[in-house]
Structure 1
Amino acid sequence: MPHTPRPARHARSESTVRFAAVGDIHVTKDSAGSLRGFFAQASEAADALLLCGDLTDYGTAEEAQVLAEELATVSVPIVAVLGNHDFESGTPEVVTDILTQAGVRVLDGGVCEIEGVGIAGAKGFAGGFGRGSLGAWGEPVIKLFVKEALNEAMKLEAALAKLRTPRRIALLHYAPIVGTVQGEPVEIFPFLGSSRLEEPLLRYPVDAVFHGHAHRGTVEARTMNGVPVFNVARPLLLRRRPEQPPFWLYELPREEEAASESAAAGPAA
């Protein structure tokens, strides 16, 4: 296979860190060669690339290898979480291993730091929102379903608790709030995310949350405490913003700027 040169990065900003976020790429064995330009464009625009799950279509080693090769055009750090499609073949660890060997940091309740910004990542799970959340009552299979939702919420909480950076991002596949799934059929809301994922975000506030999964949802909404949540599913961005590249570009002040803001604000009353 011919070597694909990495693109030159954009001029580094001294005041902000730029993130390009996208999910639901759904790479298949036939995707080879079709995404390099897209990934190069995201790489040129940002200081890091965030991938919000459903990176492959069936979670096979072949698909993961295609994705790893497509990502060769990226010249910035890549951070990812897996999605439900990446589990379809029952070997998510294979997908993770192939992507890790390609330099991708795959988070599953873990954290990393990119240019002073802390990132906590977990897949998340389904279960519904608010009063419509499924409770752990009745048949054992229902209790197992709810247990999985609770486990994923605990993964996110444990990761958020580790962050010590002034600026923080949460990376998910499933939605933590109902606002970003609006536009999907109401009947499938319970399968698109869970309010249990919002609870850690209220205890450990972040600057922004990114997720995918809801292809026909809403691009932006907010948690109960006002944190912006972005649904960056690629099919949604392609449909809602056809004139722009299908990734979400988000900026945060650099660590030095964040520290200066905190100092200027003074002690809390």
Structure 2
Amino acid sequence: GIAGSKGFGGGFAGVSGSDFGEPEMKAFIRHTKALAGRLETCLHGLDADVRIALLHYSPVPETLRGEPLEIYPFLGSYLLAEAIDRAGADLALHGHAHRGSEQGVTAGGVQVRNVSQPVIGRAYALFCFDGDGPPGPTVG
């Protein structure tokens, strides 16, 4: 099954925004928290052998490597990764970071793939789940 959300920004553990201070900053982070919460709820609700989180924004900084560090907070949030780990997804896919890197992993061990076309160099990628390790791409 697939659960999707655009996700949102906010940054990553140790270098992230928080929901205190100015009203605009509170709203920015609260929006990310709300979307992460809904993603977690939807992933938990899937009754499927394989669960995939489909996002626009990145849940991990590893797939942003190649982007300017200064814009990481606007490309993703660790709150998405926490939701994915708590829900137990098998794979997370995202785009948005066109100068990023293809592979990452959440703290809980979920494989994350940046599938933006400039990163993967093709129109799509197929991921095979064979039960013998992390999902692997098949060139498409």
Question: Could you state the TM-score of these two structures normalised by the residue count of structure 1?
Answer: 0.47
Asked if residue 159 in structure 1 is aligned to residue 36 in structure 2, the reply is: no
Asked if residue 146 in structure 1 is aligned to residue 23 in structure 2, the reply is: no
In structure 1, the gaps of 5 or more residues are 1-117, 239-244, 262-269
Picking from 106, 121, 135, the partner of 2:4 is 121
1:141 counterpart SS class: helix
Paired-residue identity, %: 45
Picking from 57, 74, 77, the partner of 1:191 is 74
Superposed counterparts of 1:79-228, under 5 Å: 118-228=1-111
Letter of the aligned partner of 1:217 in structure 2?
A: G
Q: CA deviation at 1:246?
A: 3.1
Aligned residue number for residue 123 of structure 2: 246
Letter of the aligned partner of 2:127 in structure 1?
A: Y
Letter of the aligned partner of 2:40 in structure 1?
A: E
Moved over 6 A (4+): none
Letter of the aligned partner of 1:252 in structure 2?
A: F
Q: CA deviation at 1:140?
A: 0.7
Alpha-carbon distance between aligned partners in 2 of 1:212 and 1:124, rounded to the nearest angstrom: 11
Mark the structure with the bigger radius of gyration. 1
Aligned residue number for residue 83 of structure 1: none
2:113 counterpart SS class: strand
Letter of the aligned partner of 1:246 in structure 2?
A: A
Deviations 1:178-236 (A, max 9, x none): 11011100010000000000111111111111000000001011111221100001122
Letter of the aligned partner of 2:81 in structure 1?
A: E
Letter of the aligned partner of 2:125 in structure 1?
A: W
Question: Could you state the TM-score of these two structures normalised by the residue count of structure 2?
Answer: 0.89
1:221 counterpart SS class: strand
2:28 counterpart SS class: helix
In structure 2, the gaps of 5 or more residues are 133-140
Alpha-carbon distance between aligned partners in 1 of 2:9 and 2:125, rounded to the nearest angstrom: 23
Alpha-carbon distance between aligned partners in 1 of 2:41 and 2:51, rounded to the nearest angstrom: 14
Letter of the aligned partner of 2:68 in structure 1?
A: P
Q: CA deviation at 1:247?
A: 1.6
Q: CA deviation at 1:135?
A: 0.5
Q: CA deviation at 1:137?
A: 1.3
Alpha-carbon distance between aligned partners in 2 of 1:252 and 1:237, rounded to the nearest angstrom: 19
Alpha-carbon distance between aligned partners in 2 of 1:223 and 1:197, rounded to the nearest angstrom: 10
Alpha-carbon distance between aligned partners in 2 of 1:207 and 1:138, rounded to the nearest angstrom: 36
Q: Which has the higher contact order (CA 8 A, sep 6+)?
A: 2
Asked if residue 234 in structure 1 is aligned to residue 111 in structure 2, the reply is: no
